[in-house]
């Protein structure tokens, strides 16, 4: 009992010191609050593949009431505006080639006869592949328009043109809805990893780490003291981004906050584990900074934040299983957008726990055993 | 071009810096006047923070003074830095050697940078390499040179062209006594053979005494200037040595003397005697109660004596209240018990042997000094003792355990003060003390009581709410000591605790240390001020990982100066150089003292 009490006293003592050390530094106080706000706004506005004004061209070889009706729907979205009405398929190459139109829609001559006979009627769409993201999103729009048109044509029969929605949970086709929940995890990871990576390295550089090692504090206590403030700060930053997406961008949240925070806690512990391992390995802050930068880039790229993991080559897909961000982004999106329950996200939690179990003891061991 | 009479002329030069974090403005130089003539060797002397580096950087045209006029070689350096820089060479404290380039490549690089014509280079290189004794190592990467050799190479690179004025910023910092002596030989040779003007800053007074003219800086002010002899004269007729009476150690006599600042300016142990400087007009009778029968003898003053008189006049006494430290007998166990035992300790890094089969014991209440040039293995030994570094082989026990493998609670018995007085700069003095107290298991009333006590013992009162990063150097050192002693450890480890401190602060530091030892605390200390070895009960000298000598300072001294007692006592520095040179010259069978 006494032993436990002493342990408790020492733990509070060393955690207080860590929190004070971070929060009393005016420059680090700024770093903790400004970047998450700034970046979440920036990503919310700037990182968007959404279309607002897409030029397109039409080659209506059918030129019937049915085809005109379909085109009217496209024109009516306000997103697409027609820059050219073509007479022959030769002209398509030039309007796409010189960038006049992002896409061209060709409606074949037999369009209405096929529809009348209940056959599938293909509409050809030619996209400017040079801007794949925007083109993809334009294609998504067109498909959605065609699909809704299909429904009005024959509500009972199956769709005559099969359309797959690009963003299933994103009815408004807004990339922001996909990006921002991902940022809840991604932004706090950058900050917590940087913070923890510098924490031990800073003390090594200033010589206080030796001072700490000769006190009766055990590596476990030192580990906890380094991890707890970083975890708290990471969660605060996630909360900031969450607030921005909820109240500024007004993206409605489908799932429960408790589930979300359980997931975020597990994720932050895993990031802190990685950060502390980097820190324990580094001889100075310079090295720690470098290692963190080298690591953060692939972690972000292989996370599914910007590009779907399913589109990556197999070998990189396997690599994403080592990435805590991959699981946390999946988890946050599932909870936030789909309203997933705790039981649903267990497959995402397990890898995060495994990463923590490996990295945290590794860091604690490295505190004392790193060859100087 | 007419040759100016003065190399440097400063009129009321003022420079201050703003601390970005606190927004406070610190004066680095306060209205300094200087006239340094051409062709002389001039020393700027002062502890850390005196303003030496700032002054040199102003002279090199790297910064502008806030106020005042500064002429270098007759040119206003603030207005026209380039023509000045074309004619001077400046060697900063950390000279920018390219560690992966060889000695020769570094020389070539600096010759290219300064546009030294190819025709002149061969002769210049030959001369520089000869002077620095680096001719054998031209192919070696600079990173693989020892600290002293690096400094010599830095000096050679600075001198690839012949400047009119050479500015050297603490060229001997972190350099062992041997290399220090060699560097000074080079500098003096330059002054004589090339009639070069040299301005060198240093914290070592023995170095200053080799110069033509000395400028004493303290906290941005010029305290005094003049030839070394002129400065010595301030202590003329006040310098004595005393042989302690029967049953008394020199340290006890020294403590008693220095505790009476009204009579005594300075007292240091010196080879079994005590060297002291009295206040002016102090009679022998007044001293008698302090000396208690010790035989005294008048001696000629040294630069340090004059310097101490100056500092005391300026700063007043710095005698700490040490009663409570002496009374602090928290230790259970018999005196003279062996508390540190080291047998055949070895530490290797790859195929480099940092510590080779070293053995020694330290007894309770001893002050044990680890001395050696850079890279001698003293820091490695020190870190192994503290449990910060595993040993490669050998036996090691501190307070009955090996701190590396023992339970964490065993570390409660030791205190540690690291080289850089490592404290949390963002935290206040109080927060630091509270943290370290808590780390050693103190809390509640006991912790508060100890904090009050150490703040008194180490003169920190009134600073409780100051961020430790803002403390001046001397305070930092005292706070580090207070933090290391807050839990009243049995054994205190001190790694170069006096580097960068002014002599007055060093006296106060040692007074506290001797009081602690008096109270039974065992002290292990490394230092590069060789004279400080005199305070130790026993010292060990290491070089290239090997133990060269061990014993009382007097015993170690006798290893070198067996002959010629008429010459007086050898300084600790000469002793050290003698022992290390003796060993490096590969002499057979060096005898050792084993008490």
A157-214 per-position pLDDT tens digit: 555 554 333 333 344 445 677 778 888 888 888 888 988 888 888 888 888 888 888 8
Contact yes or no for B33/B12 (Cβ under 8 A): yes
Chain B within 8 Å of A215 (Cβ-Cβ)?
yes
* Cβ–Cβ gap A13/B427 under 8 Å: no
Q: Indicate whether A266 pLDDT > 90.
A: yes
Query: Chain B contact for A133, CB < 8 A?
Result: no
pLDDT of residue A164: 36
CA of B28 to nearest chain A CA: how many angstroms apart? Answer: 24
- CA angle in degrees (0–180, nearest 5) for B420-B423-B426: 125
Q: What is the mean pLDDT of chain A?
A: 82
The predicted structure's pLDDT at residue A160: 59
Res B328: pLDDT = 64
- Segment A253-272 shows an average pLDDT of 93
Q: How far apart are CA A53 and CA A324, in angstroms?
A: 37
Q: Considering only CB atoms, which chain B residues are within 8 Å of A20?
A: 424, 426-427, 431
Find, among B94, B87, B84, B113, the residue nearest to B154 by Cα. Answer: B94
More confident residue, A367 or B473: A367
CA dihedral sign of residues B581, B583, B584, B585: positive
Write down the ipTM of this complex.
Answer: 0.76
pLDDT, residue B380, reads 86
B6-226: CATH, from 3.40.50.300, 3.40.1480.10, 3.30.470.10, 3.40.720.10:
3.40.50.300
Closest CA to B155 of B204, B64, B92: B92
Helix or strand (DSSP H, E) at B240: strand B239-243
Nearest residue to A141 via CA among A109, A173, A112: A173
Query: pLDDT digit string (tens) for A278-292?
Result: 988 888 888 888 999
Q: Do B388 and A218 touch (CB under 8 A)?
A: no
Strands of chain A, DSSP E: 54-60, 80-85, 103-107, 124-127
Reported as a single tens digit per residue, the pLDDT across A330-353 is 899 889 988 888 888 899 999 999
B419 interfaces chain A, CB cutoff of 8 Å: yes
| Partners of residue B431 in chain A, C-beta under 8 Å | 17, 20
3-state secondary structure string, B3-14?
CCCEEEEEEEEE
How many residue contacts between A and B have a Cβ separation below 8 Å?
A: 84
Contacts of A128 (CB under 8 A, 6+ apart): A96, A99, A101, A102, A103, A135
Q: What is the DSSP string of A11-31?
A: HHHHHHHHHHHHHT-HHHHHH
Give the mean pLDDT of A304-310: 77
Residues of A in contact with B416 (CB under 8 A): 210-211, 214
Q: Are B294 and B254 in contact (CB under 8 A)?
A: no
Residue range B338-580, CATH number: 3.40.50.300
- Whether chain B has a CB inside 8 Å of the CB on A20: the answer is yes
Classify domain B232-315 at the CATH class level. alpha beta
pLDDT of residue A50: 62
Q: What is the pTM of this model?
A: 0.78
CA distance linking residue B456 with residue B461, whole number of Å: 6
Residue B324: the pLDDT is 74
Which residues in chain B are classed under CATH 3.40.50.300? 6-226, 338-580
Number of CB atoms found within 10 A of residue B212's CB? 15
In chain B, residues with a C-beta closer than 8 Å to the C-beta of A207 are 418-420, 422
Chain A residues within 8 A of B389 when measuring between CB atoms: 372
Q: Which residues of chain B have pLDDT under 50?
A: 1, 566, 587-595
Domains of chain A listed by start with CATH number: 2-47+182-369 (no CATH), 54-153 (3.40.1710.10)
């Amino acid at each position: 009992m006494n032993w436990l009490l002493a342990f408790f006293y020492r733990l509070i003592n060393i955690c207080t010191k860590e929190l004070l050390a971070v929060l009393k530094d005016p420059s680090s106080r700024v770093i903790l609050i400004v970047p998450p706000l700034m970046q979440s706004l920036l990503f919310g506005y700037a990182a968007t593949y959404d279309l607002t004004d897409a030029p397109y061209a039409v080659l209506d070889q059918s030129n019937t009431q049915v085809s005109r009706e379909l085109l009217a729907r496209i024109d009516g979205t306000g997103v697409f505006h027609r820059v050219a009405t073509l007479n022959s398929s030769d002209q398509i190459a030039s309007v796409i080639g010189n960038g006049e139109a992002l896409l061209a829609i060709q409606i074949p001559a037999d369009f209405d006869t096929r529809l009348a006979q209940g056959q599938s009627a293909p509409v050809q769409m030619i996209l400017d592949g040079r801007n794949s993201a925007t083109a993809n999103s334009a294609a998504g729009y067109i498909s959605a328009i065609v699909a809704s048109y299909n429904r009005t044509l024959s509500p009972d029969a199956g769709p005559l043109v099969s359309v797959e929605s690009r963003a299933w949970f994103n009815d408004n086709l807004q990339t922001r809805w996909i990006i921002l929940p991902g940022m809840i995890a991604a932004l706090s990871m950058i900050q917590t990893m940087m913070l923890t990576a510098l924490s031990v390295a800073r003390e090594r550089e200033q010589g206080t780490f030796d001072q700490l090692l000769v006190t009766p504090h055990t590596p476990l206590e030192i580990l906890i003291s380094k991890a707890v403030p970083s975890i708290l700060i990471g969660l605060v930053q996630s909360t900031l981004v969450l607030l921005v997406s909820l109240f500024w961008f007004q993206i409605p949240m489908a799932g429960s906050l408790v589930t979300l925070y359980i997931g975020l806690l597990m994720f932050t512990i895993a990031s802190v584990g990685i950060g502390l391992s980097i820190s324990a390995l580094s001889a100075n802050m310079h090295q720690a900074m470098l290692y963190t930068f080298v690591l953060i880039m692939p972690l972000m790229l292989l996370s599914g934040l910007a590009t779907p993991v399913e589109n990556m080559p197999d070998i990189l897909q396997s690599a994403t299983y080592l990435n805590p961000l991959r699981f946390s982004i999946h988890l946050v999106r599932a909870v936030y957008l789909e309203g997933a329950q705790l039981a649903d996200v267990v497959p995402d939690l397990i890898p995060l726990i495994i990463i923590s179990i490996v990295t945290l003891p590794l860091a604690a061991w490295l505190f004392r055993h790193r060859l100087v | 071009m007419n040759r100016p009479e003065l190399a440097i002329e400063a009129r009321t030069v003022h420079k201050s810096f703003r601390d970005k974090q606190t927004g406070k403005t610190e004066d680095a130089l306060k209205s300094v006047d200087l006239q340094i003539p051409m062709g002389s060797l001039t020393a700027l002397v002062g502890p850390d923070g005196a303003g030496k580096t700032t002054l040199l950087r102003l002279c090199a045209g790297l910064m502008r003074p806030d106020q005042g006029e500064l002429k270098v070689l007759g040119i206003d350096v603030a207005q026209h830095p380039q023509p000045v820089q074309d004619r001077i060479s400046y060697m900063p404290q950390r000279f920018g050697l390219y560690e992966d380039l060889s000695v020769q490549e570094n020389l070539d690089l600096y010759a290219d940078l300064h546009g030294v014509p190819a025709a002149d280079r061969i002769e210049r290189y030959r001369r520089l390499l000869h002077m620095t004794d680096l001719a054998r190592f031209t192919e070696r990467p600079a990173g693989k040179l020892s600290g002293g050799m690096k400094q010599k190479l830095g000096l050679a690179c600075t001198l690839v062209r012949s400047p009119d004025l050479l500015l050297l910023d603490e060229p001997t910092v972190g350099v062992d006594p041997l290399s220090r002596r060699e560097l000074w030989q080079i500098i003096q040779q330059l002054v004589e053979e090339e009639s070069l003007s040299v301005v060198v800053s240093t914290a070592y007074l023995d170095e200053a005494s080799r110069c033509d003219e000395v400028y004493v800086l303290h906290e941005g002010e010029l305290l005094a200037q003049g030839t070394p002899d002129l400065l010595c004269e301030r202590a003329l007729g006040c310098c004595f040595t005393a042989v302690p009476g029967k049953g008394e150690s020199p340290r006890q006599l020294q403590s008693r003397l220095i505790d009476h600042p009204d009579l005594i300016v300075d007292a240091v142990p010196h080879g079994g005697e005590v060297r002291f400087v009295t206040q002016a007009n102090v009679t022998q009778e007044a001293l008698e109660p302090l000396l208690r029968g010790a035989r005294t003898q008048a001696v000629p003053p040294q630069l340090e004596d004059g310097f101490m008189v100056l500092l005391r006049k300026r700063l007043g006494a710095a005698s700490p209240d040490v009663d409570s430290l002496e009374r602090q007998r928290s230790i259970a166990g018999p005196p003279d018990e062996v508390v540190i035992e080291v047998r055949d300790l070895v530490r290797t890094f790859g195929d480099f042997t940092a510590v080779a089969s070293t053995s020694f014991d330290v007894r309770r209440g001893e002050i044990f000094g680890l001395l050696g040039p850079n890279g001698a293995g003293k820091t490695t030994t020190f870190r192994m003792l503290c449990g910060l570094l595993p040993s490669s082989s050998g036996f090691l026990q501190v307070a009955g355990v090996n701190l590396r493998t023992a339970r964490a609670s065993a570390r409660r018995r030791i205190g540690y003060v690291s080289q850089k007085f490592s404290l949390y700069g963002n935290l206040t003095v109080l927060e630091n003390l509270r943290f370290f107290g808590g780390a050693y298991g103190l809390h509640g009333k006991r912790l508060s009581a100890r904090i009050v006590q150490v703040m008194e013992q180490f003169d920190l009162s009134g600073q409780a709410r100051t961020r430790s990063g803002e403390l001046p150097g001397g305070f930092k050192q005292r706070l580090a000591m207070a933090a290391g002693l807050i839990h009243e450890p049995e054994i205190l480890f001190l790694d170069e605790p006096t580097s960068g401190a002014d002599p007055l602060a060093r006296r106060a530091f040692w007074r506290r240390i001797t009081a602690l030892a008096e109270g039974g605390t065992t002290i292990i200390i490394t230092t590069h001020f060789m004279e400080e070895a005199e305070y130790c009960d026993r010292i060990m000298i290491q070089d290239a990982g090997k133990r060269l000598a061990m014993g009382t300072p007097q015993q170690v001294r006798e290893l070198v100066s067996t002959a010629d007692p008429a010459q007086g006592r050898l300084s600790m520095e000469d002793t050290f150089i003698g022992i290390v040179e003796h060993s490096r010259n590969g002499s057979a069978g060096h005898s050792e003292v084993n008490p």
